[in-house]
Amino acid sequence: MNIYEFTVKDIHENPVSLRDYQGRVLLIVNTATGCGLTPQYEGLEKLYKKYHDQGFEILDFPCNQFLNQAPGTGEEIASFCQLKYGVSFRTFGKVEVNGDKADPLYVYLKQQAPADVENAEAGAFRQILVKLAQTVAGSGIKWNFTKFLIDRQGRVVTRFAPTVKPEELEAAIVKLLPQEKKCEKAGER
C-alpha cells in the first residue's frame, strides 16, 4: 500500500485521488492560519517554487484540531494563504489528523512514520531513537505544521516535527528529486 490508494477532498469538498500526484516527491503538511508557526507558509512556498519544476509538490491540509487555529472554510483559508504568503501550492479541505475522525490519509501517514524527526539533519541513529521513543509514547500529530515527506513511489520517507522549518527540509527533498538534470549538466561541461 502507498499514498496513491487514498482520495482526499479539495477546498470545495470534491474528491481528489492522490494518484494524480504519482511519480512526484510530496510534502504533506497539516496547517493552520492562526498559529505561531503560520509564517512557515513563506518557507514552504519558497521550496515549492524552487523545486516544483523538478517534480516536487506540497499538499496543504488545514486542520482546526489544535486550539481552533484554522477557522473558516477551505476557500477562506486558501484565500488567506494566497494573499498573505503568496502560496501557489494546493490547499485541500480541512481534515482532522487525530482521534476517531482522523482522515484515513493521516491514519496511514502516522502508521508509516510514527515519530517526529526534530532536526532534518539528524543522524540515522538519532532518528531511530526518536522513532522508538515516539512509538512507545504514541504516534499522534502533536501540532500544526507536522510534515510528511513522500518519495516518488508513494512511500512515506519521514515525518518532521512542527518546529522543523521548511528551509531545513531542503537537503532531504533534494535527495528524492531526479538525478537526471545533474547528469545532463555534468555532460555539458
Q: What pLDDT score does 116 carry?
A: 73
User: Which CATH superfamily includes the segment(s) 3-188?
Assistant: Glutaredoxin (3.40.30.10)
Q: Which of 50 and 83 is assigned the larger pLDDT?
A: 50
Q: What pLDDT score does 84 carry?
A: 76
Q: Kindly report, residue by residue over 151-172, the tens digit of the pLDDT.
A: 999 999 999 999 999 999 999 9
**Torsion angle, alpha carbons of 12, 20, 64, 35, to 10:** -110
The three-point CA angle 66-70-74 to 5° equals 140
User: 172 and 120 in contact (C-beta within 8 Å)?
Assistant: yes
Q: Kindly report, residue by residue over 71-91, the tens digit of the pLDDT.
A: 777 777 777 777 778 889 999
Rounded Cα gap, residues 175 and 44, in angstroms: 17
Q: Kindly report, residue by residue over 96-131, the tens digit of the pLDDT.
A: 999 999 999 999 999 998 877 765 555 554 455 445
User: 11 and 93 in contact (C-beta within 8 Å)?
Assistant: yes
Q: What pLDDT score does 185 carry?
A: 45
- CA distances 144 to 38, 48, 112, 175, Å, are 9, 19, 19, 25
Q: What pLDDT score does 158 carry?
A: 92
**The one catalytic residue among 35, 63, 81, 183:** 35
Mean pLDDT over the full length of the chain: 84
Q: Kindly report, residue by residue over 169-182, the tens digit of the pLDDT.
A: 999 999 999 755 44
User: Is 183 tagged catalytic?
Assistant: no
